[in-house]
Amino acid sequence: MAEIPNFLEGTAFGVLNDVLSVFHSNEGYAQPNKYEVLILPPAKLGGGNQTNIFSGLERQADTRNISLRAQNVTLPGRNLATGTDNNVYGPNREVVEGVTYADDIQMSFQASSSLAERVFFENWQRQAFNEKTWNIGYYNDYIGNIEIYILDKQNQRRYGLKLWEVFPKTIGPNDLAYDANDQLMLLPVSFTFRYWTSLDQNQNPDVNIFDRITETVINSAERNISRNIPRVLNRL
């Protein structure tokens, strides 16, 4: 009878070793603080080709800075709409009738002293309407895309989603207070989108390995600096 507890103990130890080996491997587990966001706005805001190359580069740099300031983001879900199929013998079965996506996703951005991030999203919203005439703009003029990536322990992209036909639906309010001298202002923005697709990191053979390594190192350094700003401020 003593062999049974020993067997169970050995089995449990083996399972624990398997769990620890996965945890310490390069695969590891997904962590919610390991992510990257890329904001791809309409062409007029830096999301496409520009007539003036220098103004275009400035806009693209602004877009990159805003992407790096994404403090938190919601990874959207997807739902299969179903109905009951009665045209079968025996029990009814549930069948897919369509697909729906989350209405909005929420993001918060670290705000600079000039509130350049708020100005950016205000300008994006102005592509959808005219403040003087109240005319509504063309749909294709105010939609962009957003890419969200999950990173591993080496800050390599392992999973990604691309949100299509995106625009900032709501720029949230900010509370101001004299006693909030050790806090960063976070700008809440709600985005609406039409649908999302999965991004396979192995489907982009046009980017050589050197460019991928360089991009990973630069993005990792910038993300770490940006996310440690609140911690540094609290120590001042």
- Tell me: pLDDT of 183 over 70: yes
- The mean of the pLDDT values for the chain is 79
Full residue range of the structural domain in which residue 222 is found = 30-235
pLDDT value of position 212: 47
Count of domains forming the chain: 1
Is 188 in a helix, a strand, or coil? strand
Tokens of 185: 């202002």
**Among the residues of the chain, which ranges form H helices?**
3-24, 53-68, 116-126, 139-142, 209-227, 229-235
pLDDT value of position 136: 96
Q: Which residue has the higher pLDDT, 216 or 81?
A: 81
pLDDT value of position 55: 43
pLDDT value of position 51: 40
Q: Is the residue at 99 inside a domain? A: yes
Is 55 in a helix, a strand, or coil? helix
Which region, left, alpha or beta, applies to residue 208 given φ > 0 means left and ψ of -120 to 50 means alpha?
A: beta
Average pLDDT on 9-37 reads 68
- In this prediction, residue 97 has a pLDDT band, given cuts at 50, 70 and 90, of very high
Average pLDDT on 89-106 reads 91
Q: Is the residue at 130 inside a domain? A: yes
Q: Is the residue at 138 inside a domain? A: yes
Q: Is the residue at 98 inside a domain? A: yes
pTM greater than the 0.75 cutoff: no
Q: Is the residue at 11 inside a domain? A: no
Q: Is the residue at 6 inside a domain? A: no
44: DSSP letter? G
Q: Is the residue at 53 inside a domain? A: yes
36-64 pLDDT, tens digit per residue, is 999 999 987 765 544 443 344 455 667 88
Q: Is the residue at 13 inside a domain? A: no
Give the start-end residues of each E strand in 116-185: 144-151, 157-171
**How far, rounded to the nearest angstrom, does the alpha carbon of residue 86 sit from its chain's CA centroid?**
41
- Among residues 169, 158, 172, the alpha carbon closest in space to that of 109 is found at 172
Mean pLDDT lowest among 25-34, 126-135, 198-207, 217-226: 217-226
64: DSSP letter? H
CA distance 168 to 105: 10
Most confident of 22-36, 45-59, 194-208: 22-36
